[in-house]
Amino acid sequence: MILASRVRWPAGDEADAMILSNREPVKVLVVGAGLAGLTAARTLAAAGVEVTVYEARDRVGGRTYTVRDGFTGGQHGDLGGELVTADYHALTALCEEAGVALSERVWIEREQTLPGETPLEGYLADGRIIVEGGLLTGARFAAVDDEIRVALRDTSPAPHEVIEQWTRRAGLSALARGALAGIGRMPVQYDPSQIDAHYLVDAHVGAVRRIVGGSQVLADTLARDLDVRLEAPVRAVRQAGGRVEVELENGDRMTAGQVVVAVPPFVLPTVGFDPPLPATHVGALTSLQRAYGGKVIGQYAEGDAVRAALSRGVFADGPLNTAWVSNHYVTEGPAVVSGFICGAQRHVLESDGDAFAALDEVVRIAVGEPVTRIAGRRKNWMEDPFALGMGATLGYTFRRALVAQFATPERRVHFAGDHTDADLPATMEGAVRSGRRAADEVLRQPRRMSLDEIDTELVRA
What pTM value is reported for the model?
0.91
| Amino acid code (one letter) for 423 | D
Mean pLDDT to the nearest integer, 414-432: 96
CB 330 within 8 A of CB 75: yes
Give residue 445's pLDDT band: very low, low, confident or very high (50, 70, 90).
confident
Give residue 9's pLDDT band: very low, low, confident or very high (50, 70, 90).
very low
In 3D space, the residue among 370, 371, 389, 391 whose CA is nearest the CA of residue 381 turns out to be: 389
CB atoms within 10 A of CB 384: 18
CB 210 within 8 A of CB 329: yes
Check residue 408 and give its pLDDT. 95
Whole-angstrom distance, CA of residue 120 vs CA of residue 25: 53
CB 42 within 8 A of CB 19: no
369, with CB counted inside 10 A (0-12, 13-18, 19+), is exposed
CB atoms within 10 A of CB 59: 17
CA distances from 346 to 197, 338, 393 (A): 22, 15, 18
Give residue 393's pLDDT band: very low, low, confident or very high (50, 70, 90).
confident
In 184-309, which ranges are E strands?
207-209, 227-229, 234-240, 243-248, 253-256, 258-261, 272-274, 293-300
Rg (CA), the chain: 24
32, with CB counted inside 10 A (0-12, 13-18, 19+), is buried
Whole-angstrom distance, CA of residue 323 vs CA of residue 312: 9
CB atoms within 10 A of CB 105: 16
pLDDT at 16 over 80: no
Whole-angstrom distance, CA of residue 41 vs CA of residue 384: 24
Return contacts of 454-457, CB within 8 angstroms, 24+ apart: 457/23
239, with CB counted inside 10 A (0-12, 13-18, 19+), is middle
Strands 272-274 and 293-300: unpaired
Check residue 11 and give its pLDDT. 37
pLDDT at 407 over 90: yes
Contacts of 335 (CB under 8 A, 6+ apart): 299, 300, 302, 303, 304, 306, 307, 310, 325
Give residue 354's pLDDT band: very low, low, confident or very high (50, 70, 90).
very high
Whole-angstrom distance, CA of residue 298 vs CA of residue 332: 16
In 230-319, which ranges are E strands?
234-240, 243-248, 253-256, 258-261, 272-274, 293-300, 314-316
CB atoms within 10 A of CB 454: 12
Contacts of 295 (CB under 8 A, 6+ apart): 78, 79, 80, 338, 339, 340, 341, 378, 379
Kindly report, residue by residue over 182-198, the tens digit of the pLDDT. 999 999 999 999 999 99
Kindly report, residue by residue over 212-258, the tens digit of the pLDDT. 999 999 999 999 999 999 999 999 999 999 999 999 999 999 999 99
Whole-angstrom distance, CA of residue 294 vs CA of residue 383: 10
| Bond from prior residue into 264 cis (ω within 30 degrees of 0) | no
Check residue 22 and give its pLDDT. 41
CA distances from 161 to 78, 158, 168 (A): 32, 5, 11
Check residue 428 and give its pLDDT. 98
Check residue 14 and give its pLDDT. 37
Q: Is the dihedral of CA 95, 210, 386, 406 positive or negative?
A: positive
* DSSP label of 68: -
Check residue 450 and give its pLDDT. 56
| Amino acid code (one letter) for 317 | D
Whole-angstrom distance, CA of residue 218 vs CA of residue 272: 30
Kindly report, residue by residue over 108-167, the tens digit of the pLDDT. 999 888 889 999 999 999 999 999 999 999 999 999 999 999 999 999 999 999 999 999
Give residue 12's pLDDT band: very low, low, confident or very high (50, 70, 90).
very low
Check residue 172 and give its pLDDT. 98
Check residue 398 and give its pLDDT. 82
Whole-angstrom distance, CA of residue 35 vs CA of residue 65: 11
Kindly report, residue by residue over 273-294, the tens digit of the pLDDT. 999 999 999 999 988 989 999 9
Kindly report, residue by residue over 57-99, the tens digit of the pLDDT. 999 999 999 999 999 999 999 999 999 999 999 999 999 999 9
pLDDT at 262 over 70: yes
What mean pLDDT is reported for the chain? 91
Length, in residues, of the chain: 461
